[in-house]
Amino acid sequence: MNRIDAVSQAFLQWSYQNRRTSPPNHGFLTNGESLVNGQQVTPDELEDVVELLHQRGLVDGPVSFGEPQPNPAELTPDGFSCVLDYDADVQKWKASRLVTYVNQPVTVTGNQNQVSAFSSNISQQQRSTMEKVHTLRNVAEQALAGLGTYEIDEDEAADVRAAAEKVLAETAEGEPEPGRIAKLAKKLHSVLSMFLGTAVGAEFAQRLMDALLPLIGMAA
């Protein structure tokens, strides 16, 4: 289980245990369950996880102006199902909701054409998402490789490494939602600009940044 899924599991379990009192999200950080795999969850990680769980429909709650995450985040019916039926494992919950479509003509009460067209549309959407994930991972891998070739400030290099490794971790198992892909791409695009200040790294960075632009446009 990757880091984002492990933190999601811990937060969902904490939310279930505190479902009657609905404490604010930051209360999770002072709880023992926020020590995930021996590493303390950071405020930024918590923010990302709550936003992701909200996008997936697993948590909901009041949203303040300027803050996209509900706070306190409370379990939705799907969130309860994820916790109780799948031990708060988001990937297992997602897998249970997948429907396999066969892109072949199927006759159902005479609506053969409608079923076939719907099946084809789902297949195209799945291929499109897979291609975007492939592009995102490829850029992240090249960004990490670039750290050994183009010299940039140590702090900037740490930001590039963190963004690229986050992309690889979150896309290692399953496919993130389009909104999450866009957010990861936007962050990676931002840190890649740090290479623009180097004499030989500017062209390298611009090429990778250009490859991310179609993915950033997914954030609607």
Boundaries of every domain in the chain? 3-97, 124-216
Give the chain's mean pLDDT.
80
First to last CA, the chain: 28
Predicted local confidence at residue 14, as pLDDT? 94
Predicted local confidence at residue 122, as pLDDT? 45
Biggest CA–CA distance in the chain, Å, is 66
With a cut of 50, list the residues of the chain below it in pLDDT: 99-104, 106, 112, 115-119, 122, 218-220
Predicted local confidence at residue 52, as pLDDT? 87
Classify 3-97 by CATH class.
mainly alpha
Predicted local confidence at residue 116, as pLDDT? 47
Task: Evaluate whether 139 touches 181 at the Cβ level (below 8 Å).
Answer: no
Backbone dihedral region of 16: left (phi > 0), alpha (psi from -120 to 50 degrees) or beta?
A: alpha
Tokens of 135: 């592009």
Predicted local confidence at residue 102, as pLDDT? 43
* Environment class of 108 (CB within 10 Å of its CB; exposed 0-12, middle 13-18, buried 19+): exposed
Tokens of 116: 């076939």
